[in-house]
Amino acid sequence: MDMKVYFLAIIAFTTVGFYACEKQKSDPNIEQKIIGKWELKSSSGGFTGKTIPIEEGKSSVLAFKSKSTYQQIENGSVVKEGKYVLSEVKSIYSGQLETAISFNETDPISKEQRKYVLGLRNDSLLISDNYYDGYSKFYLRVK
């Protein structure tokens, strides 16, 4: 079990570092590329920067569908669904304009729609809060 946690931590930090250092330009085909199911593998960040793997026996899946709709599925049950919007935002990680995703949720402080930095590479998806001490969620495409 400890080796699995260690392995997931390395993957998460490597992925965050990879996406943070890379200069990205918005991919015009990103909406088509994210369509499908993505399983959450780990979450990292917060004040400690700690990586938290998903507990064994639990599953969390994001399903992106056509017409900019999504479902969040926890342990086989849909717990949230709605529309998403892709846009660009200046990333705190790179200082560059990067693709952002917004779900149907509002930031409680600013009252604006919350935008997350979106990193996509092959079958890996990283969705990160765009503020300091925020969290990043690492997903792998379900095949």
Asked if residues 119 and 130 have their Cβ atoms less than 8 Å apart, the reply is no
Find, among 17, 23, 14, the residue nearest to 98 by Cα.
23
Domains of the chain: 2-141 (2.40.128.280)
pLDDT (0 to 100) of residue 45: 92
Give the residue with greater pLDDT, 55 vs 61.
Answer: 61
- Mean of the pLDDT values across residues 18-43? 76
Point out the least confidently predicted range of 9-23, 62-76, 87-101.
Answer: 9-23
- Using the predicted structure, report yes or no on whether residue 25 has a pLDDT greater than 50: no
Tell me the per-residue pLDDT of 90-125, one tens digit each, with 9 for 90 and over: 999 999 999 999 997 777 777 777 899 999 999 999
Closest CA to 54 of 62, 42, 69: 42
Fill in the amino acid letter for 113: Q
Task: Give residues with Cβ within 8 angstroms of 116, minimum separation 6.
Answer: 100, 101, 102, 103, 127, 128, 129, 130
pTM, full prediction: 0.76
3-state secondary structure 29-81: CHHHHHCEEEEEEEEEECCCCEEEECCCCCCEEEEEECCCEEEEEECCEEEEE
